[in-house]
Amino acid sequence: MKIRYLLMNAYGVGGTIRTVINQANALAADHDVELVSVFRTGDRPRFPVDPRVRTRALADLRGPRWRHPVRDWLRHRPSSLVPPAEVRYATFSRLSDQKIVRYLRSLDGGVLVTTRPALNLLSARYAPRNVVRVAQEHMYLRSHKPELVAEIARWYPRLDAVVSLTDADAVEYAALLDGAPARLATIPNGLTPADRAPAALDGGIVVAAGRLTRQKGFDLLIKAFAEVVADHPGWQLRIYGDGREHGRLRRLIHRLHLYNHAFLMGGTTTLEQELAKGAMFVLSSRYEGFGMVLIEAMAHGLPVVSFDCPHGPADIVTHGRDGLLVPPEDVSALAAAMKSLIGDSSLRHALGEAARMSVRRYDMDGIRLAWERLFAELHAGATRVG
C-alpha cells in the first residue's frame, strides 16, 4: 500500500513531528511510505527516519537559494487558502498555497494522511477522490478557534476518515460532523522505539518537557515549584524545550528567586536520556491533544504528576495507581502532589513501576496494526465504491 504523510515541517522538533515520523518508520517495512514536508528548513530531519521512508519537501527555505523575485514575493504574501484562525496561519503563504495545491492535485490513488487542520482542510478541498484522505488530529477539536471549527464542519465531511487521539475527542467530532460520511476513529500515539534506561528515582530532579508556549503551562509549574523549594531546597526543576515564552519564563524564575533551582534546558532530540535522570515527570499543560511526553516518561518508570486537563492525561494516567492527577491550573495542588512524591520514596517507586507496565499498551507494534487495519478498510471501501 502506498501511504503518504503530509506535515508542515519535518525538519523541526516537536511532538507532532516525532509521532508522525514514528508512524512512517513503523509502516515502512511492509508499505511504500513517503514523508512529505511542506517546508524544508534543515539539511536533514532532527528525528531518525527509516531509510525505507522516502522524503521530499515542497518548499525548500534553506539559505540564499530562495532569493528569487517571484518566489520571494509569494513567500511574503499571506495565505489565501489557510483560515486565519489556524494557529500556524502566519507560517503559511501564497507560496505554500501554490506548492500544496499542486502537490495534492498530482496524487493518484493510495493513502494520504494530513497532520494539522490547515493541511486537513486543503486535502478535503483539493486531493483527488481516488486518494484515501485521512485527517490526523494532534490536538483536540475544542482547542481550535470557533472560526476554524466552522471550517472543519464545512470541509471535513469530504474526507474519508478523521482520526482522534482520544475517545473523548472522537465524541466531539461525532457531534460536529453528525451524519457526515467521514469515518471517525481513535488511535493514540505510539511510543518511540528506543532502549530506555530506568529512571533515577532518587536523584532529586523534576523533569518537564514541551514547547515553551502558554498552552504548556510552564509558568504554572514554575510557580508551583517555588512552593516545593520552600520545603525541599535540594531539589531542582529541569524544563526541556524551546519557544516564544522563553524570555517570560526566565524572568519569572528570577522574580521568584529560583535561579539555583529551576532551569530552562533548551530543546533536545535525546529526551530519553534526560528523562532517565529524573525522579518524577510533571505535565502542567492548560490543554493537550494527548500528552505524548507522558507516555514517554512513564515508559522509563517515572511517576508522573499532571493537571487533569482536556484531553489526554486522564486517558493515560490512573490517579493513585501509576501517577497523580490534580485539578487543571491549580498551582497549589500541583505543588502538593510533587511534595507528596518527594516525601515518599516508596510511593515514587511504586507509581513508577506501575507506570512502566501500564504504557505497554502504547507499544508501536499495536499502534501500527491499528493504522494498517484502518487503511485497509478505507482502501477496500474506496475500491468497492470505485
In sequence order, the 6+-apart residues with CB closer than 8 A to the CB of 163 are 134, 135, 136, 137, 184, 185, 186, 187, 374
Q: Give ranges for CATH 3.40.50.2000 in the chain.
A: 2-190+363-385, 205-362
pLDDT of residue 64: 62
**What is the rounded distance in angstroms from the CA atom of residue 33 to the CA atom of residue 52?**
8
The architecture in CATH of the region 205-362 reads 3-Layer(aba) Sandwich (3.40)
pLDDT of residue 328: 97
Torsion angle of the four alpha carbons 121, 126, 128, 133, in this order, in degrees rounded to the nearest 10: -10
pLDDT of residue 262: 98
List per-block mean pLDDT (blocks of 10 residues) for the chain, which spans 386 residues: 97 90 96 97 93 96 61 78 95 95 98 98 97 95 96 98 94 94 95 89 95 96 98 97 96 97 92 94 93 94 96 92 97 98 97 96 95 95 58
| Global confidence as pTM | 0.87
Spelled out in words, what is the top-level CATH class assigned to the domain 2-190+363-385?
alpha beta
Q: How far is CA 236 from CA 159, 170, 201, 285, in A?
A: 47, 38, 13, 19
pLDDT of residue 105: 98
243: left (phi over 0), alpha (psi -120 to 50) or beta: left
**What is the rounded distance in angstroms from the CA atom of residue 229 to the CA atom of residue 214?**
23
pLDDT of residue 385: 47
